[in-house]
Amino acid sequence: MAEITRSRTGELLRLVFEVLMAAENPVRASEVLSKVRGMTKLTDYEKGEFDSGGIRVDTIIRFATVDCVKAGWMLKEKGRWSVTEEGIVAYNQYSNPEKFYREAVKLYHKWKKGQLGENESEAEREVKEVTITIEKADELAWKEIEDYLKSMDPYEFQELVASLLKAMGYHVSWISPKGKDGGLDILAWSDPLGTKPPRIKVQVKRYESNINVDSVRSFMALLGDDDVGIFVTTSDFTRDAKDEARTQEKRKITLIGLAKFVELWIEYYANLDDLARRKFPLQPIYFLSPNQ
C-alpha cells in the first residue's frame, strides 16, 4: 500500500493488540480503530480518505488484521475483535514492529499455501478487499442489533427472554411485573405443570456496562438446591463474573450475554410466536464469500 511501510503497519498492529489485550472482552471494531487513532500521531496520508470513502489508517489496519486472523493471532466475531493466546505470545516475542508484521504475513502465506513475497498479488488483495467488505457489513449489522436491544424498555427485553425460553421448549410460569422483583424476573420449568426439577430462575438486566462478579453472586444467593439460574444481559460479564459461574460446584448458573442471546434467538427463530418476531425481527442476508 503506497506511503505506508511494513514497519509503520507493524506499529499500528501492535497498538491494536495493546487495546485488545487490555480489554476483558472482545471489543467492537470501530472502538478499536478509534482508540488506535488516538494513540499515535497520524501522517497526513494516514489521516486522508480513499476515493471510495473511509479513513486510510482504518483501512490499513483492517488489511493488516486479515493476516493476523489467518495467523491465528486474532479473532473477529459479531463485529468485535479479540486477541488469542498465540497472538499475545507473538506480541511479546516480536517486539520489533516490522518483524511482528512480517511474521503475520508469513503465517498468512503459509495458511494460503503460497510463497512469501514482498508484495501481495492482485488476487490476494482482491480477496482481502472482499473479506473487509463482509467484515464491515457484519460489524454494522451487529451494531444495529446491539443498539436496538440496549435502547429497548427493560420490561420489553424481559418479555423477549421469556419468549425465547418458550421457543426453546421451556414452560414459563411467571414473569415479574413492573416494580421491585427481588432479583428474580422469570420462573420456568421443563414440564407444563412444574412438577419436575429443576426450577429455572432467570434474572434479566438491560445494562450498558458489563455485569460484575458481585451481581452474579447476589443472583446465585437466590438459587436453591433444585434450581438452575440463568443470567441474561444486553451487555456481557466481567472475567471475574465468568470465572465465578464456571467454577460453581453446587449452584448451577448459565451466563448469557448479548451475543449469545442473539445466537439463540436466531437458532430458535422458527419456534418464536409472531408477537416475539415482530418485537425483534431478524432476517439473514447472504454475501458471496471469497474462495479462501
Q: Write a three-state SS string for the chain.
A: CCCCCHHHHHHHHHHHHHHHHCCCCCEEHHHHHHHHHHHCCCCHHHHCECCCCCEHHHHHHHHHHHHHHHCCCEEEECCEEEECHHHHHHHHHCCCHHHHHHHHHHHHHHHCCCCCCCCCCHHHHHHHHHHHHHHHHHHHHHHHHHHHHHHCCHHHHHHHHHHHHHHCCCEEEEECCCCCCCCCCEEEECCCCCCCCCEEEEEEECCCCCECHHHHHHHHCCCCCCEEEEEEECCCECHHHHHHHHCCCCCEEEEECHHHHHHHHHHCHHHCCHHHHHHCCCCCCCCCCCCC
Domain total in the chain: 2
Q: Which residues pair with 204 in a beta bridge?
A: 232
Give this prediction's pTM: 0.84
Residue 2, pLDDT > 70, answer no
Last residue of one domain, picked from the residues 125, 150, 175: 150
Structural domain contains residue 286? no
Q: 292 falls in which pLDDT band (50, 70, 90)?
A: low
Residues 168 and 75 in one domain: no
Structural domain contains residue 265? yes
Burial degree of 201 (CB within 10 A; 0-12, 13-18, 19+): buried
Q: Which domain holds residue 174?
A: 154-279
Is-contact 275 255, C-beta < 8 A? no
Mean pLDDT (the chain, rounded) = 92
Name residue 264's amino acid.
L
Q: CB neighbours of 62 closer than 8 A, spacing ≥ 6? A: 132, 135
How does pLDDT run across 4-29, given as a tens digit for each residue?
899 999 999 999 999 999 999 999 99
How does pLDDT run across 75-87, given as a tens digit for each residue?
999 999 999 999 9
Residue 272, pLDDT > 90, answer yes
Residue 115 is predicted with a pLDDT of 42
Residue 220, pLDDT > 70, answer yes
Q: What are phi and psi for residue 187, nearest 5 degrees?
A: -120, 135
How does pLDDT run across 35-55, given as a tens digit for each residue?
999 999 999 999 998 777 789
Residue 1, pLDDT > 60, answer no
Residue 276, pLDDT > 60, answer yes
Calculate the CA dihedral of residues 221, 226, 232, 236 and round it to 10 degrees. 60
Q: What are phi and psi for residue 99, nearest 5 degrees?
A: -65, -35
Across 32-36, 56-60, 92-96, 181-185, least confident range: 181-185
Report CA-CA distances (Å) from 88 to 46, 136, 161, 188, 265: 26, 25, 36, 42, 33
Gap between the Cα atoms of 75 and 82, Å rounded: 5
The enclosing domain of 262 has a CATH number of: 3.40.1350.10
Structural domain contains residue 181? yes
Instruction: Classify 27 in phi/psi space as left (phi over 0), alpha (psi -120 to 50) or beta.
Output: beta
Residue 283 is predicted with a pLDDT of 92
Q: 286 falls in which pLDDT band (50, 70, 90)?
A: confident
Residue 93 is predicted with a pLDDT of 98
Residue 127, pLDDT > 90, answer no
How confident is the model over 162-173, as a mean pLDDT? 98
Across 124-133, 136-145, 244-253, least confident range: 124-133
Residues 88 and 65 in one domain: yes
How confident is the model over 62-77, as a mean pLDDT? 96
Residue 203 is predicted with a pLDDT of 97
How confident is the model over 96-113, as a mean pLDDT? 91
Residue 116 is predicted with a pLDDT of 42
Residues 189 and 138 in one domain: no
Residues 110 and 221 in one domain: no
Share of the chain above pLDDT 90, in %: 79
Residue 119 is predicted with a pLDDT of 53
Residues 74 and 200 in one domain: no
